[in-house]
Structures are given as C-alpha cells and as structure tokens.
Amino acid sequence: MDDINFAVLGTGGIGRRTLELSTHREGLTPVAACDRHGIAVDHDGLDVGELLDATEGNIASGDDTDDGDDTDGANVAADGGATAVKQHGEDRGVAASGQARPTETPIDDVVDESDAVDAVLVALPNLEHDFIPRVADRFADAGYEGVLVDVLKRSRVIDMLDERTDRFEEAGITFVCGAGATPGLLTGAAALAAQSFVEVHEVDIWWGVGLRSGYEDNRGTVREDIAHLDGYDVETARDLSDEEIEEIVDDHDGVLEFHDMEHADDVLLERAGICDAEDVTVGGILDVRNDAKPTTTTVSVTGTTFDGERGTNTFELDDVTSMAANVNGPALGYLKAAVRRNRTEDYGVYGPAELMPGF
C-alpha cells in the first residue's frame, strides 16, 4: 500500500500518543496536528519528536471542560483531548512547537489542508454528543475525500454518524467509528472469535486499567466513570464536586469496578450481524493508585458451533500492555484498513467489526 498522510485533530493523550506511535509504523506520515490554540503543518512530515518535546509538560485542565464521553477507563485517553498539553510562554499547546502557528480556527485550518491528507484521526474532546459528528460535517462540506477515524465509545454517537452516511458517501468519506481499545481492538477480537460459531449468545468485554496503564494522564475522567457505579448516573456524576469525587475514590480504596457500561461495542457488534446489542456486556476495574492492572483485559465470546457445541473463545491482552498501546495501535491499524477501502471508493460509516471477516 502507498504511504498514508494523516492529520490528528487534538493533541491531548490520544493525539500525542498517536503521533508517537506512528513513527514506529510503516507507511504513516503525520502531516498536520492541531489543538484549540494552534496548528502544525508539514506536507513532508512533521518532526514528531520536536512537536512532542515542545508541547510536553504539565497536564492542565486549563479552560477546557470535561468532555462527557469518559464512560470508562479503557478508552479514557480519547478524551484527554486538547487539555493535556503544555502551556509554554505565550504560546499554549501545539503553538509552542517551532513547526506550528497559533490559530483561532484550528479545525478549519486542517480542513483547508485536507487535499493533502488521506486520513484524519479525530482525538478531540467530545464536548457534546454531536461534536464529533459536526466536525465530520465540516470535512464533508469542504469536499474532503478520505478517511475519518475516531475512538469514541458512546453508543448514541454511532447513530448520529449513521444518519450522515449519504453525506459521507457523496463526499467520498470513509468514517470508522469506535476504533480504539473498547470499542475497537476488543470489538474486532469479538468479531473474529465469533467465527467459530453460527450463533453468538454472549460477548463479555472486561478491562483492567492501572495507573501505569494510562490512567494517570486522565484523572479528570474518573467523574464519568463514577456515572457507572451503583447509585450514580451521568447527570449525578456531573454535579459532583472534586471533593466528593475524591471521597468516592477513597471509599473504594482507589479501586473502582464497573458493570454494564454504555459502550458502543454493543451496537457495533450488532451492526456487523454478530449478535444483538443486548448480548454484549462491558465492564472493568480501574485502579487509580497502583501501577499494575487490577484485572486482565479479556474478551469472551460464547456461542454455538454449527455442529451443536456451546463454547467460549477468549482473547486476552497482556497486563503490561498499556491503555495507550491498546487504543492508539488499533486506531492506526483501523485507519490503515479504512484508507485501503477509501482508495477503492468504499465510503460510508463502518465500525471495527465490519472491517473484520464477515459473519
């Protein structure tokens, strides 16, 4: 496959790590990156080392609000968004890089460069449910032909993207949604594990995240995670003070266990025809005080084979693999798969499971 020029919207946790990871992968050239204050563009390829060094530093929530999409720890880095960057003299964030300039219209500036871009990874904080869909609209309106990839996880956002299918097809956009860890890597693993079966009864996705595994850079997201604890929901969690959150974490000795989370794995597996959304459960354990993962991230797919046996295939990630490795690696993997599709004029909205062998 020919080289892929890609851009990153958002240089928080996901954006930064995607840039770093891309330097380890063949055929990926980052040509643009932006946050809310600046944009760096180099059609010959950004100097990722310089960009990361210049913008590395204190993790500040700054004037950014929490993004509202952090329904768990597993894809939490998606939501670091534009917040986790350096404040460096007068130029904040990306603008601190020698390759960048300040701007007040960063997304439009990337749209302006999109003729030279094959794929865009959307790693923006999802302030509103429809924020990422509306960003996609701007690319479609500008006549962008290429790939858009996000690592969102809220099930309801998928529907908003689906409504835009015709628009994307007209423009020539291949949109891959939920292409991080869960949904993403683990959704794909479930789709593959299902291949032994003719009927899938249950998909159980269970994740572990420890401090070293990526939580430290994304502390603010515990608020959204709390929404999944017994006795809380998104609204009540949003109203908690920092002190109240700290108290809840203390009450749990720093170890928070989640069940039945709103994760798009369910709708993404259903749209691939693998099982009903209601047969998918997502949960996990987040340890905000220890480096080690408190539990092993595992996908279990239970089904019946054509010859009538009921069994469970499993996919396990090594405990040493960080959340960042499991989000950003697959994001770039799905991005590559999407570019291949886009180049054969295969447009529209796809989830990770649809980029796997069919069911």
Q: What are the binding residues for NAD(+)?
A: 10-14, 220-221
- Catalytic status, residue 153: yes
Given the residues 153, 263, 293, 336, select the one marked as catalytic.
153
| Pairing mode of beta strands 173-176, 348-350 | parallel
Cα(264)–Cα(257) distance, integer angstroms: 19
Footprint of a copy of itself on residues 191-210 (CB under 8 A)? 192-193, 195-199
Handedness of CA 62, 66, 67, 73 (dihedral sign): positive
Among positions 77, 335, 349, 353, the unique one binding a copy of itself when judged by CB under 8 A: 335
Cα(343)–Cα(75) distance, integer angstroms: 28
Fill in the per-residue mask, 339 to 358: x = in contact with a copy of itself (CB under 8 A), - = not in contact.
xxx--xxx-----x--xxxx
- Catalytic status, residue 293: no
Minimum CB distance to a copy of itself, residue 213 (Å): 10
Segment interacting with a copy of itself, rule: CB under 8 A, options 79-87, 104-112, 276-284, 329-337: 329-337
> What angle do helix axes 48-55 and 13-22 make, rounded to 10 degrees?
150
Closer of 138 and 341 to a copy of itself (Cβ):
341
Among positions 2, 24, 89, 241, the unique one binding a copy of itself when judged by CB under 8 A: 24
String of DSSP letters for 28-80: EEEEEEE-SSEEEE-TT---HHHHHHHH------TTPPP-S---SSTTGGGGT
43: tokens are: 């059609």
Applying CB under 8 A, does 185 fall inside the site for a copy of itself? yes
Applying CB under 8 A, does 324 fall inside the site for a copy of itself? yes
Catalogue the E-assigned strands of the chain: 4-9, 28-34, 38-41, 87-88, 91-92, 100-102, 119-122, 146-150, 173-176, 199-209, 255-258, 280-287, 298-304, 310-316, 348-350
Cα(272)–Cα(264) distance, integer angstroms: 12
Segment interacting with a copy of itself, rule: CB under 8 A, options 47-55, 61-69, 216-224, 321-329: 321-329
Phi, psi of 281 (to 5 degrees): -120, 140
| Amino acid code (one letter) for 302 | T
Whose tokens are 């572990």? That residue is 208
Minimum CB distance to a copy of itself, residue 256 (Å): 23
Checking phi first, is residue 300 left (phi over 0); if not, alpha (psi -120 to 50) or beta? beta
Given the residues 145, 224, 270, 354, select the one marked as catalytic.
224
Applying CB under 8 A, does 119 fall inside the site for a copy of itself? no
279: tokens are: 């047969």
Applying CB under 8 A, does 2 fall inside the site for a copy of itself? no
Closer of 133 and 184 to a copy of itself (Cβ):
184
Applying CB under 8 A, does 314 fall inside the site for a copy of itself? yes
- Catalytic status, residue 86: no
Applying CB under 8 A, does 49 fall inside the site for a copy of itself? no
Residues classed as catalytic: 153, 224, 228
Tell me which residues touch a copy of itself (CB under 8 A).
Answer: 1, 17, 20-21, 24-26, 185, 188-189, 192-193, 195-199, 273, 305-307, 309-322, 324-326, 328-330, 332-337, 339-341, 344-346, 352, 355-359
